[in-house]
Structure 1
Amino acid sequence: MKIRFWGVRGSISTPITAAQIQSKIVAVVSRISVRDLESENARQNFIANLPEYLYGTIGGNTACLEITNENRDHIILDAGTGIRMCGKQYTKNQNEVFHLLFSHFHWDHIQGLPFFDPAYKPDTVLNIYSNYPNMRRFLKEQMQPPFFPVPIESLTKQIIWHDIKDSVPFTIGGMQIMTKAMFHPGGSHSYLFIENGKRFIYATDVELRQIDFDRTEENIAFFENTDVLVLDAQYTVEETAQKEGWGHSAFCYAIDFAVFWHIKHLYLFHHEPMYDDKKVHTILKSAQWYSDYVCGGKVTVHLAIEGQEIHL
């Protein structure tokens, strides 16, 4: 399977500001020496060795991932603002079939759906999956006046609504999928995907609690020995203490969780909208240090970044 990040921010979309761009330019210019300008190779080496937070950006769109399985099905996780650009790659295609899976229905996970271009094409088939039986009403209400000028009835007539249940597996193109409820105000459901022995978990908007570390049969079946875990790690420890009950986790707790369940790769996700690229990368460095300290680096820690792809 191939996983691509289209939106990685939490709570609200966060466009990079003019001041942040200017700060990056100043930081880059301050690093340049005469030797770095002597040749094309020198210039390329200079750019290649810039810190990641200067050469690029984490991205400002809210939650959206795309999975392409072995059957080449289009599986989209959540419809945050990132789904807009996801849809642009399919605007010229015909008779596409999409599978849209929702973790929950907070604004930052649904507000991109009205801007998903393929959904307006009459030949598009749109399968929508959720643990919430009222999903149709939730999505309809955000697309009616005064909130949006185009009603949900303008979307393809080929919408198929799938009411799924926790711990009851279902399949898309041979890929096995299962959901699990986790703590978040109003609820949120994580997804497990299994294909060819590879395991991927999408666990956004999660405030980890002791129950998530209990070695119950359900937890073992869902979490144990997963290859890649994308997990909410919006807060620092200090923020978690101040925002208990808000429904998000600290990066160090995410690492403790990954170590406990023998996760191979952990992707920090749902980045705090108040943090710029430098701050998020600083958190990554702290997380990598903590992983080395608690488990000798057995869990490889990454940042979820827009445009990034994972191949399993």
Structure 2
Amino acid sequence: MTRPTLTFRGVRGSMPVSGNQTHRHGGHTLCIDVVAGDRTVVLIDGGTGITRLDRETAPTGPTEYHVFLTHYHWDHLQGLLFFRPLFDPDNHFTFYGHQWDDMSCREAIEGALRPPWFPISIQDTAADKAYVTLGETTVELGDIKVTAAPLRHPQGVTSYRIDGPNKSIVVATDCERGETAADERLRLLATGADILVHDAQYSPEEYEDHYVGWGHSTWVQAAQAAHEAGVKELILVSHDPARTDDEIDNLVELARGSFPDTRAAFEGLQIEL
């Protein structure tokens, strides 16, 4: 049996970008997928990177898609209505996300993906759909187990631990360090994991000068989280749209001074689970 493989399809924060200075890491907004079987796909977020899955390796034939949303900001939803499998009546989609105020996962998604912000609504797509409002929950999908925990971000954010047969990865994007309870939830979620994928949108100087309270972290904070959880590897993600490939490389080198086994996420990076 083929081992489940996690693939980064989009790694940018805030908005997609293009150009010669961003092509190595990629310009699509966040989307990560795990092909968990011939007919089961697990997705973390539906940023524009989801279109790469569509073009490159999306399964053919009836497929179960499980879409775990970190949160409902535009850059994490904006690829969904461009994802062709959502228009196939033979497919089934289950969307997972946290409750915000009195708004359920379904209400948040349907409220965002509809006219006048897009020509059609998500209800108009042909695939069968279900919605699950998450708390601190574990979902088992064949050889894959997904565990959720809330972190710190405006309007909330959910981090996910993905346990495969041989490796475990925690995805903690769009999160800001500094809230004791949230930091402890991440430590508990990531303890014993092999890899921590952590937000590092800002440099320490940018963060202190302009972006405290915006819901993102720095490479310093990401390295601190990796140390606290005792993971083997740190992968930086949610690259700022203004950040060039060379600048991302520089941040990685700085981070390696604190946590040596650090690298930056890039489109197409694959990890066997």
Tell me which residue corresponds to 1:289.
257
What is the CA distance between 1:89 and its match in structure 2? 3.5
Which residue among 140, 149, 152 is the counterpart of 2:119? 149
What is the CA distance between 1:9 and its match in structure 2? 0.3
Tell me which residue corresponds to 1:175.
144
Which residue among 231, 235, 241 is the counterpart of 1:273? 241
Tell me which residue corresponds to 2:10.
7
1:201-251, CA deviations, whole angstroms, 9 ceiling, x for partnerless residues? Answer: 01110001252687x6x5554121210111101111111212111111110
Residue type of the alignment partner of 1:175: I
What is the CA distance between 1:139 and its match in structure 2? 2.2
Note closer, same or farther for the CA distance 1:230–1:67 as it changes in structure 2 (3 Å cut). same
For the 8 Å contact 1:67–1:75, the answer to whether it is kept is: yes
- Partner of 1:118, secondary structure, is helix
For the 8 Å contact 1:181–1:188, the answer to whether it is kept is: yes
Output the CA distance in 2 between the equivalents of 1:3 and 1:301. 18
**Mapped pair 1:86 → 2:53:** yes
What is the CA distance between 1:186 and its match in structure 2? 0.8
For the 8 Å contact 1:71–1:173, the answer to whether it is kept is: no
**Mapped pair 1:250 → 2:218:** yes
Unaligned runs of 5+ in 2: none
Note closer, same or farther for the CA distance 1:227–1:120 as it changes in structure 2 (3 Å cut). same
Tell me which residue corresponds to 2:190.
223
Output the CA distance in 2 between the equivalents of 1:121 and 1:72. 14
Structure having the higher Rg? 1
1:76-115, CA deviations, whole angstroms, 9 ceiling, x for partnerless residues? Answer: 1000111112122466712111111101000000011010
What is the CA distance between 1:129 and its match in structure 2? 1.1
Note closer, same or farther for the CA distance 1:158–1:193 as it changes in structure 2 (3 Å cut). same
Alignment TM-score, normalising by the size of structure 1: 0.79
**Mapped pair 1:303 → 2:264:** yes
Which residue among 223, 227, 238 is the counterpart of 1:259? 227
Unaligned runs of 5+ in 1: 25-52, 292-296
Larger strand percent: 2
Tell me which residue corresponds to 1:32.
none
Equivalence map 1:98-247=2 (5 Å): 98-132=65-99, 134-166=104-136, 168-196=137-165, 198-209=167-178, 211=180, 221-242=188-209, 243-247=211-215
Output the CA distance in 1 between the equivalents of 2:160 and 2:55. 25
- Partner of 2:71, secondary structure, is coil
State the percentage of identical aligned residues.
29
What is the CA distance between 1:256 and its match in structure 2? 1.5
Alignment TM-score, normalising by the size of structure 2: 0.89
What is the CA distance between 1:69 and its match in structure 2? 3.1
Output the CA distance in 2 between the equivalents of 1:135 and 1:195. 26
Note closer, same or farther for the CA distance 1:181–1:241 as it changes in structure 2 (3 Å cut). same
- Partner of 2:12, secondary structure, is coil
Larger helix percent: 1
What is the CA distance between 1:154 and its match in structure 2? 2.3
Residue type of the alignment partner of 2:168: R
- Partner of 2:258, secondary structure, is helix
Output the CA distance in 1 between the equivalents of 2:187 and 2:200. 21
1:2-55, CA deviations, whole angstroms, 9 ceiling, x for partnerless residues? Answer: 110100000111112xxxx3xx7xxxxxxxxxxxxxxxxxxxxxxxxxxxx8xx
Output the CA distance in 2 between the equivalents of 1:157 and 1:254. 38
What is the CA distance between 1:195 and its match in structure 2? 2.6
